[in-house]
Structure 1
Amino acid sequence: MKIAIAQINPTIGDLPGNAAQILASAKLAVKLGTRLLLTPELSLCGYPPRDLLLNPSFIGAMGATLQQLALDLPPNLAVLIGTPEVNANAHVDGGKGLFNSMALLENGKIQQIFHKRLLPTYDVFDENRYFEPGLEANHFTLDHIKIGVTICEDLWNDEEFWGKRSYAINPIADLAHLNVDFIVNLSASPYSLNKQKSREAMLEHTAIRFNQPIIYTNQVGSNDDLIFDGNSFAVNRQGNIISRANGFETDLTYIEFDPNKRDLLPSTIVAAPSSEDEEIWQALVLGVRDYAQKCRFSKAVLGLSGGIDSALVATIAAAALGKENVLGILMPSPYSSDHSIKDAIALAENLGIKTETIPIGNLMQSFDASLESMFAGTEFGLAEENIQSRIRGNLLMAVANKFGHLLLSTGNKSEMAVGYCTLYGDMNGGLAVIADVPKTRVFSLCNWLNRNGETIPANVITKPPSAELKPGQMDQDSLPPYDVLDDILQRIIQQHQSTSQIIAAGHDAATVNRVVQMVTRAEFKRRQAPPGLKITDRAFGTGWRMPIASQVKK
C-alpha cells in the first residue's frame, strides 16, 4: 500500500482554501498510485481555530465543505481529513458540543469518523474548552490492512518514555492490543527549539515498545504566535526513521507499507537543520512570512537603530517578504552615535532594503517645551528617555498606517522579560519577531548569518548594546551582563526554579532578587505587547498566563 503525507499549510477559517490544498494534494497523490492520503489535525479549518469553534455557522460550513470535498476527491483514494465533529449527545450527558476528529473519506462519502482521545490543556493548548474526548480506540480496514488512527496528543502519553502518565489511557497501547498493522498520527504540533528531536526519540521508543510502525503527519506554517514546522516522518517496527519530510515548508511525501513484512519500507529522508541557529532562522522566516500573508500585508516597516536586534529583524523580514518589501526608518536623536547611523545604513545596503531618515531632535524639543512647567524642578530620567522611544513609535505607526505596512517590533525576550522596553514606543507593532529570542541567542544568530560573509555589519555585533536614550548609555548600566541575565531568566521562565535554587547554582543573590522583581513588575507591559513568534517551550504568548497584580514571594 502506498501512503502519502500531505504536509499542508492551512489558514485558520479559510475552508475553501484549505479544502483546495487537500484536493490538490489528493490529485497529485493519485497520479503516483497512492491508496491512502494523510492530512494534519483539523486540516479543514486549520489549527488552532480557538473560539471560532463557538460559532455554529462556522461548524455548519465545515460540515458542508467536508461533504463537498468527499464528492470532489478522486475515486479509489482514501483520505483522512481533520475536522470538528458535532457531539450529538452533548445535550443529554452535559459534554462539550464538539469532538476533535478525523474523517475518513472515500468514493464520495464520509465512511468513518474518529475522535481524539487525549485533550491537552497545558502551555498553548486549551482543548477541553471546546472538545469532548473520544472513548474508543480508532481504527479502520483498507484493502485488508488494519490501520490505527491517533490524533496529535494521543501519541504523547507513553509512561515508559516520559517517566510518568499525564492521562489515564494510552491510545497507542490500545491499538497495539487490537493488533493493527500500522498506526497513523495526524498532528498540529507547534514548533519549539529541538522539539523534532523529542518527537523522533518518542516515536522510536514507542515503535519498539509496541512493535508498531508509525506514520506522523504534521501541519506546517504559522498561525498568529504559533509556528508549525512540519517535519512529518515515519518509523518502522524497529524504531528506525524511514522517512522525513521537509521542515518549515509544504511537502507531499510517500511511504510504502509491505503487507508481507507488516512494515514500512525505506523512503526519502530529508536532512535535519545543521544547527540550532539554522532551525530558529527557518522558523522565524516562516513565522514572519505567514503572519504577513495571512493578515493580508505585503510590505513591512521597522525602526533601524544600528543595534543588533533591529539588524536581525530586518534580515529576517527581507528573507521572508523580499528585500523590495521592507522599509527601514532611521530616527536619530541628539544622543544617537555616528556609528549607529552608519551601521544602520550599512545593514540596509547589505540587505538591499529601502531606508528613510526622520530626525527626532525637533520633536523632542517640542515635548520638552510642552512639559517644561509640569516637569520643572525635576531631574532628567526615565520619563524623558521614554518620550524619545514614544516619538519613534508614533512615527513608525504613522508610516505603517499611511502605507498599509506591517510594523515589526524588534524587542528580544531578555528585554521583554525584565521590562527593558517602552510601552507605546519600541513595543509598538503588529508582530514582535524576536520576542521569544534571548539576547545571547540574537548574537548567536547574527554570527551564524555571517558564517559565509558579512550580512550583519561587524560593528553591530561587537559594539556594546545601548538604547542611546541619554549620553553614554549602555544596557549594562541597567541590566546584568546578558550571559548572566539570560541564564537567570532561563531558570525562572523555563525551569521554574526558585530564587534559592538559582542562587545555589552560583548566581549573586542581589542580582537574582533584582531580576525576579523585574520579571514580575514587567507583566503589565507584556500583556500589552504585540503577538510574538514562539520558538521555545515557554514563551510570553498564548501559553503564558501570569497575573498582572500579584504579591508572590519567590
Structure 2
Amino acid sequence: MQDLTLVMAQLDPLVGDIPGNADLAIETVREARIEHGADIVVLPELFLTGYPPEDLLLRPSMETRLRHARAHMAEKMARDVMVIVGYPGRREGHNWNLAGVLYNGQWLSEYAKQALPNYEVFDEQRYFSPGTQPLVIEHKGAKLGILICEDIWAEAPVRQASLAGADILVTLNASPFHQDKPAERLQLFEQRAREVGLPLVYVNMIGGQDELVFDGGSCCVDARGELMVQAPHWAVGLMPVQFVREKGVWEPRPGETQAEVAPEEDLYGALVTGLRDYVNKCRFEGVVLGLSGGIDSALSLAIAVDALGAQRVHAMMMPYHYTADISMEDAAEQARLLGVRYDVLSIEPMVEAFNESLAESFAGTLADTTEENLQSRCRGVVLMAISNKKGLMVLSTGNKSEMAVGYATLYGDMVGGYNALKDVYKTWVYRLARWRNSQSPAIPERVITRPPSAELAPNQQDSDSLPHYDVLDAILVRYIEGDMSAEAIIAAGFEREDVYKVVKLVDRCEYKRRQAPVGVRVTRRGFGRDRRYPIVNGWQPGD
C-alpha cells in the first residue's frame, strides 16, 4: 500500500500583486509541509496574478514580473513537495492560462487551459489562446492529470487526461459564486468523475475582486462521484486529502466535509466576503453609511459590521421633515445593538438653503421629485464630506430591485464606493435580514415588518410607485436573468400594465446603473460584466 497527501490551498490573492502572491504561495507550501506532511500542494487558477487580472495581462512588463516571481519561488519553495500553481504566460508568441509544476527548485512542466470561457462574466478569449495538449505528471507513483477550471465543464479535456493515463484529476479554479452555483459544481464533479472512473480534486479561490466573489468550497470526489473531502465556503485555509493506492488504484480517504447550509447563509457569506475584501484590499480605514431606519440600510449595516468589525463602521442618521419618529428610534436602536458610532445630523438647513437659492429658477413650477431628490443629494454630500475627512468609504445601500427600475437618486443615495446589496433583490433583502437576526439580534423587528418607504414625501410608500416587491422581483428575474420578452412574461401570468411598466423602467435606467457603485454579483446575471446593454438605443420591449 502507498499513500499520498495532497493539500488543497484555498487562498485569497491580491490581483496585480505578483511578488506578494508568490510569497504567499511560498509560505502556504511551507505550512502545508509542516502541518500536513504535504506531498503535493495545489493552488488556484491564475494565482500569481490574482483573478481576473483583466487588461493587466496586456502590460508589457507582465511576463518579466512573472519570470522574476517564478524564479523566486523556485529558490525559496520548500523541498520534497510538488507545487501546482496557476499563472499566465507568453510562450511561442501566444498568451496562455497556465498551470505550472514546481518541484525541488525546478519548473518541470506547464499545462495550458484548453476551454476558454467567453460568456457571463468571463472574457478569456480576449487574452488567451486555447491549449490543445493534456498534461499528466507523475509524483510518488501517482499520475496527476492537470486541468484548469472551464476544462472540467467542457468534458473533452477530462477524457483527454484520462486517456493520457491519469490516476487522479486535479483542477485549478477561479470559479465565481452566484446563488446555487456550489450545488451545480458539485453535481458536475460527481458526473465527470463517474464518466472517466477517476477521483477528482477541485481547488477554488476565495475572496472578493471588484464585482466577483469566490466562495472556495474546494473538494475531492472519488471515482464513483462520492464527496470525500470538502473545505469550508467563505474561509481561507488548507485542506488535506489523503490518497491510498490499493491494487494499483488511487483512492481518496474520507475526510472533513461541510454540512449543507441555508441559501441565506451562503448568500450572506458572499456579501460579507465581497465587502471585506473590497475595503481591505483598497486600504480604506472603514465605511460610513446613511442609516435611515429602513430595511436596506439596516441590512447593509449588519453586513458591514460582520465584515469589518463595529469599530470600523460609522452610521449617520440624516433626518428631514418626512423622517418618521420610528425611523429615528429604530436606527438608534440598531446602532446600539451593533455597537457602531452613530451620529444624527439634520439636513433641514441644507435643503432649505437649496430651496431658497433655487426659488427664482423654480418660479411658476409645482413641487415634484426635484425637491425630493434634493433631500437625497444633501445626504450624499454629507456622507462624501465625512468620507473625505476621515478616509472612510461611503457604503451605498440600494438593492437590485430598486437599481433595476431606477428607484434611486443619482448623486444622492447612489453616492458611494461600494454597494453590498447591488445584486440582491428586495425579497432577498427581507430573507437575509430575518436569517441574520436568527443568528443574533442585529436588526430591530419593526424595520423588517413595516412597509418600505423612501420617506421623501408625506406618507410615502414604495408601493405608490412600484408593484409590490414579490411581483416586481418575479418580473425582474424573468426579464434580467431569463431574457424573457414582455409578452412572454405576461403569458406567464403577470399583469400587462405591471410588466410593461417594469421592463420600460429597466431599459430606461441603464444610464443610472452605469454610474452606480460596484458591488459583488451574486445572481446568475448582475448589472455589470455579464449584462452589457447600450444606453442610447431604439429597442422597444415586447417580443
Report if the CA contact (8 A) 1:235-1:264 is conserved.
Answer: no
State the SS of the aligned residue for 2:342: strand
Q: 1:20 aligns with which of 4, 18, 23?
A: 23
Instruction: Report whether the alignment pairs 1:37 with 2:34.
Output: no
- 2:5 is aligned, of 2, 10, 19, to 2
CA distance in 1, matches of 2:306, 2:64: 39
Q: Letter of the aligned partner of 1:155 in structure 2?
A: I
Q: Give the 5 Å matches for 1:251-262.
A: 251-261=237-247, 262=249
Tell me which stretches of 4 or more aligned residues in structure 1 moved more than 3 Å.
Answer: none
Letter matched to residue 196 of structure 2: F
Q: Deviations over 1:309-347 (max 9, x none)?
A: 000000000111100110001100111111111111011
Letter aligned with residue 349 of structure 2: N
**Matched residues in 1 for 2:216 and 2:256: separation?**
13
Residue 183 of structure 2 corresponds to which residue in structure 1?
Answer: 197
Q: Which of residues 107, 125, 128 is equivalent to 2:125?
A: 128
Determine the C-alpha separation between the residues in 2 that align with 1:454 and 1:55: 49
Check 1:70–1:267 CA distance in 2 against 1; reply closer, same or farther (3 A cut): farther
**For 1:519 and 1:133, how far apart are their aligned partners in 2?**
37
Identity over aligned pairs, percent: 42
- Which one of the candidate residues 254, 271, 294 is aligned to 1:307? 294
Aligned to 1:175: 161
Aligned pairs for 1:15-414 within 5 A: 15-31=18-34, 32-88=36-92, 90=93, 97-158=94-155, 170-261=156-247, 262-414=249-401
RMSD of aligned Cα (Å): 1.2
- TM-superposed deviation, 1:218: 0.3
Matches of 1:9 and 1:272, distance apart in 2: 23
Q: Which amino acid aligns with 1:475?
A: D
Kindly report which structure 2 residues correspond to 1:466-505, keeping only aligned pairs within 5 A, or say none.
466-505=453-492
Q: Is the contact between residue 343 and residue 459 of structure 1 (CA under 8 Å) also seen in structure 2? A: yes
Measured in 1, the distance between the counterparts of 2:54 and 2:440 equals: 43
**Shift, 1:16, TM fit:** 2.3
Question: 2:513 touches 2:527 (CA, 8 Å); kept in 1?
Answer: yes
Distance in structure 1 (CA, Å) of the matches to 2:500 and 2:436: 35
1:415 to 2:402 alignment: yes
CA contact (8 A) 1:343 1:457 kept: yes
Counterpart amino acid of residue 95 in structure 2 = L
Mapped partners of 1:186, 1:431: distance in 2: 29
Residue aligning to 2:495: 508
Preserved CA contact (<8 Å) 1:150 1:171? yes
Contact 2:241–2:252 (CA under 8 A) maintained in structure 1: yes
Letter in 2 for 1:230: G
Q: Tell me, what secondary structure is at the counterpart of 1:56?
A: coil
Question: 1:103–1:110: 8 Å Cα contact kept in structure 2?
Answer: yes
What does the per-residue CA deviation read over 1:457-492, in whole Å, with 9 as the maximum and x for residues that have no partner?
011011110001111111001000000000000101
Q: Which amino acid aligns with 1:5?
A: M
In structure 2, distance between residues paired with 1:69 and 1:453: 44
SS at match of 1:373: coil
How many residue pairs align between the two structures?
536
CA distance in 2, matches of 1:154, 1:368: 60
Which residue in 2 is equivalent to 1:167? none
Residues 254 and 267, structure 1, Cα contact 8 Å, conserved in 2: no
2:412 corresponds to 1:425: yes
Residue aligning to 2:430 = 443
Distance 1:450 1:432 in 2: 21
Q: Contact conserved, 1:532 with 1:540, CA < 8 A, in 2?
A: no
1:181 is displaced (CA, Å) by 0.4
The secondary structure found in structure 1 opposite 2:359 is helix
Shift of 1:306: 0.4
Unaligned runs of 5+ in 1: 91-96, 159-169
C-alpha distance in structure 2 between counterparts of 1:22 and 1:174, whole Å: 29
Separation of aligned partners in 2, 1:270 and 1:365: 60
Distance change (3 Å), C-alpha of 1:401 and 1:506? same
> Which letter maps to 1:79?
V
Q: Find the counterpart in structure 2 of residue 545 from structure 1.
A: 532
| Cα distance change of structure 1 residues 117 and 400 upon mapping to structure 2, 3 Å threshold | same
Q: Counterpart of 1:259 in 2: which secondary structure?
A: strand
Q: TM-score, normalised by structure 2?
A: 0.97
Is the deviation greater in 539-548 or in 180-189? 539-548
Q: How far did 1:452 drift? A: 4.9
Give the secondary-structure state (helix, strand or coil) at the position aligned to 1:5.
strand
Secondary structure of the 2:442 match is: coil
Q: Is the contact between residue 142 and residue 250 of structure 2 (CA under 8 Å) also seen in structure 1? A: no
Shift in Å, 1:34 = 1.5
Give 1:273 deviation, angstroms: 4.7
Q: Return the offset for 1:76.
A: 1.3
Matched residue type, 1:77:
V
Q: Post-superposition shift, 1:299?
A: 1.2
Aligned to 1:94: none
Distance 1:453 1:177, change over 3 A: closer
TM-score normalised according to structure 1 size: 0.95
Distance 1:268 1:536 in 2: 31
Does the CA contact (< 8 Å) of 1:305 and 1:330 recur in 2?
yes
Range moving further from structure 2, 78-87 or 300-309: 78-87
Read off the aligned partner of 1:137 and give its amino acid letter: P
Cα distance between partner residues in 2 of 1:85 and 1:307: 49
Separation of aligned partners in 2, 1:281 and 1:340: 24
Contact 1:255 1:264 in 2 (8 A): no
Q: 1:311 is paired with a residue of what secondary structure?
A: helix
Deviation at 1:30, TM superposition (A): 1.7
Instruction: Tell me, in whole angstroms, the C-alpha distance in 2 between the residues paired with 1:18 and 1:272.
Output: 31
Which digits, 9 at most, give the CA deviation of each residue in 1:104-141, with x for residues without a partner?
00111111111000111111111111111111112212
What is the alpha-carbon distance in structure 2 between the residues aligned to residue 143 and residue 371 of structure 1?
A: 79
